[in-house]
Amino acid sequence: MTLKTIRDFDPKGKRVLLRVDFNVPTDDAGNIQDDSRMTKALPTINYLLEKGARLIIMSHLGRPDGKVVENLRLNNVATHLSQLLGKPVKKLNECTGEEVEKASNAMQNGEIIMLENTRFYPGEETNDAEFTKQLAKLGEVFVNDGFGVSHRAHASSYGIATILPAYAGLLVEKEVIALEPLITNPNQPFTVIIGGAKIKDKIALIEQFIPKAQHILIGGGLANTFLAAQGKQVGQSLYEQDKLDLARSLLAKAITLDQIVLPTDVITATEISNTAETQTVSVNAVSPTAKILDIGPDTTDAFKSIIADSQTILWNGPLGLTEFTPFQNGTRETAQAVSELPDSFTVIGGGDTSEILKTLGFPDNKFSHVSTGGGASLEFLSGKKLPGIEALYR
C-alpha cells in the first residue's frame, strides 16, 4: 500500500479540510509559548495555498471535554498563524452550522478559514456520524497533517477520511518516512534509549525493539522498576511495585546479556528541589531513605560509549527528573552524545522528550528527526496501526 499525499491531487479551487495539531502550550492569558507545532505545519499550508486551495483548518486546543471553554478558543492561534503566513486567517466561532457553511462556500482560491476548537463538540472524540458529516460538508478533500492526533479515531482526524478523498500532509508524510524504517529495517547498530516514569507506557515499545535493537538503554523512573525487579534496594524512589514481574519478563526476553542496559550507578537525594544535596552511589548501595533521581556518571559514560558506535538512535523519555537542576546531567550528557553523531540517523520520539531537550539547550535541528507526536509516536513505534494514518493509504 502507498501513502496518498497532497502531491497526488490538484488542490486548485478545491475546499480543502486540513486537520493540524495546533495544540500549542499557552499561558493563562492564552498567549502561545511555543509555536513549533505550528511552524512544522507551514510547508503543507503554504503548498496548498500556492496551488490555489481554499483552505479550511481544523485543530483542537487543550481538553475542553465537549464543552465551550473560553480560554481554549483558537483566536490567538489564528492570529499567530496569520502572522506566520503573512496573510489573513479568518477565524470562525463554530465548526459546523449554516454560518460556517456560508463562509466556506464563499471562499476564494488562496483564502484561509480556521474553525473553532473541534473538541468543543462532544461528537469530535466519539467520532459521531452526524458531527462528522457536518464537518465533511465544508470541504471537497481532506488532508491530515496532524500526526500527533492520528492515533485517535476522532471525527476531524479519522471520520472525515471515510467520507472525503483523503491525503497525508507533508508533515505526516515526513513522520511516516522517518519512523517506519525503525520498525521495519533500521540501520545497525541500532540503539533505543527509553526513559520516563511508567513501565506501562513503554512495554510495547521495549517488546517491539528487543528483536531489532542491539542495545536498549533504560533510565528515568522506569529504570527503578527494573532495578527493584532485580532485587536491588531503591529506597524511596518512584517505582511500580505491581510491575515487577513484567519487568523481569522483559529482561528475560533480551537476546543477549548486554542488550538491555540498566544503570550501574545513580544520583540520589532525600529531597526533590533545585538545591537538593545529592550523592552518587552504586545501584547496590542506595540508602533506604534516598530517592533515585538521575543516572550516575559511570552509567552516563556507558550510555555514551554505546551511542558513539550506533548508526541509528531512537530516544523516548528523560533519564532523570529533569525539572530540577541537580538531576539533569544524565539526560544532558546523553543528548550531547546523540547530537554529535555525524552520520547516524537520530530520532527523538514524543513531544515531552523534545520539550525537555530544548529546555536543556538541544533544539530540534540537533537531531535527524523530532517527532511531533507524543502518544501517536509511541503507538506507531510500538507497531500499532494509527486510524488517522491508515485511512490515507491506497
| Residue 308 in grid coordinates | 558513539
Residue 139 a catalytic site member: no
**Of the listed 133, 137, 198, 358, which one is catalytic?**
198
Q: Indicate which residue of 15, 37, 54, 243 is catalytic.
A: 37
Q: What is the DSSP string of 299-340?
A: HHHHHHHHHHT-SEEEEES-SS-TTSGGG-HHHHHHHHHHHT
CA 305 – CA 303 distance, rounded (Å): 5
Of the candidates 103, 50, 116, the one whose C-alpha atom is nearest the C-alpha of residue 77 is 116
Is 198 an annotated catalytic residue?
yes
Bridge partners, 55 (sequence order) = 16, 112
> Are the C-beta atoms of residues 87 and 42 closer than 8 Å to each other?
no
C-alpha cell at 178: 522517518
- Residue 248 a catalytic site member: no
H or E element, residue 85: helix 75-85
Q: Residue 72 in contact with residue 29, Cβ under 8 Å?
A: no
- Exposure string for 169-195, b = 16+ CB within 10 A, e = fewer: bbbbbbbbebbeebeeebeebbbbbbb
Residue 61 CA to residue 265 CA, distance in Å, equals: 41
Reading the block at residue 135, the C-alpha cell is 464537518
Distance CA 297, CA 302 (A): 9
Q: Cis before residue 122, ω within 30 degrees of 0?
A: no
Q: Which of 195, 196, 219, 351 is catalytic?
A: 351
For 361, phi and psi rounded to 5 degrees? 100, 20
- Beta-carbon contacts of 102 under 8 Å, excluding residues fewer than 6 positions away, are none
Quick one: which of 271, 290, 286, 294 has its CA closest to 223?
294
Residue 351 is among the residues annotated as catalytic for this protein? yes
Which residues have a catalytic role annotated? 37, 198, 351, 375
